[in-house]
Amino acid sequence: MTTNILITGGTGFLGRELISHLIKNKKNNIIAFGRTESKLSELPRHPQIKPVCGDIRDYEALYFACKENNVDKIIHAAAMKRIDTCQDFPIEACKTNIDGTINCIKVCKEFGTSLFFISTDKACEPCTTYGATKYLAEQLVRRESQSHDFLGCIIRYGNVLNSTGSVLNIWVKQYKETRKVKVRDKSMTRFFWYVEDSVTFIENCLDKIIIEKGQVFIPKIKALNIYEMACYLYREENVEVTTCSHTEKIHESLNGDYCSKDHVVHPRQLLRNKTAT
């Protein structure tokens, strides 16, 4: 029996990795739902992959994508993720991150589809617009799943190395331009893992036989000290310490008890390759 899985943000960094892993199971059919025509056209031509052009803000587009493809599960990965952009355009962030999640919930109620909402450590005690929108989206998934007849759960984790907007990519650009990289605070820590690990974790959540409605799945992730990581990759004399903005935490949490300051490892234990050039 086949499983039809719709991935919102299907052309994004995580979406593409999910597709490449999920099609290894011949029983999975993937509906890659995204709004960027050029990126949809770049997806592999494969009998298990169906690109669908649509915006998560558009309920009708999502509704018909689910109806026409008999979708069994939605992995909701689409989001506005850049913290600075969300701060500058909060209404747009709400339209995508909150209204888009509401649309997912509505179609899941309509068709009895399961919803797997991809969240972030920024949603735990949020201090940014991005974190606040993801927190509210989490609450919507939990409340609506627990009070209505559909299965919704949350998958919450930290930063994916080398993803779009990753600090590693920012540093590469800074170093090429100035031969320096910038760090906000010497004691700042963040959770990091590789996209392969995040995809495996999501796959395991999809395959769980028993899931409580509104359940939150949180992996055990290692944290890195940002300053130590910069020094490891670029040498200490090339690292410039600036100041934190009011929207940045020194340490992130995945829940009240799992804080990045308590799970720090040396960069050499986590980074597979030195990516500095």
Give the pLDDT confidence of 161-187 residue by residue, as tens digits.
988 888 999 999 999 999 999 999 999
Residue 272 has a pLDDT of 65
State the Cα–Cα distance between residues 274 and 64, nearest whole angstrom: 45
Considering only 46-60, 77-91, 117-131, 237-251, which range has the smallest mean pLDDT? 237-251
Summarize the confidence of residues 129-139 as an average pLDDT: 97
How much is the pTM?
A: 0.93
Specify the higher pLDDT residue, 148 or 31: 31
Residue 10 has a pLDDT of 96
Summarize the confidence of residues 99-109 as an average pLDDT: 97
To the nearest whole number, what is the mean pLDDT of the chain? 93
Considering only 5-19, 225-239, 260-274, which range has the smallest mean pLDDT? 260-274
Summarize the confidence of residues 91-104 as an average pLDDT: 98
Indicate the CATH number for domain 3-158+194-217.
3.40.50.720
Residue 276 has a pLDDT of 45
pLDDT band at 20 (very low <50, low <70, confident <90, very high): very high
Summarize the confidence of residues 107-121 as an average pLDDT: 96
Domain edges within the chain: 3-158+194-217, 170-187+223-270
Q: Among residues 26, 50, 67, 122, which one is catalytic?
A: 122
With vertex at residue 1, the alpha carbon angle to CA 75 and CA 103, rounded to the nearest 5 degrees, is: 25
Q: Evaluate if residue 273 carries a pLDDT over 70.
A: no
Q: Evaluate if residue 277 carries a pLDDT over 70.
A: no
27 is catalytic: no
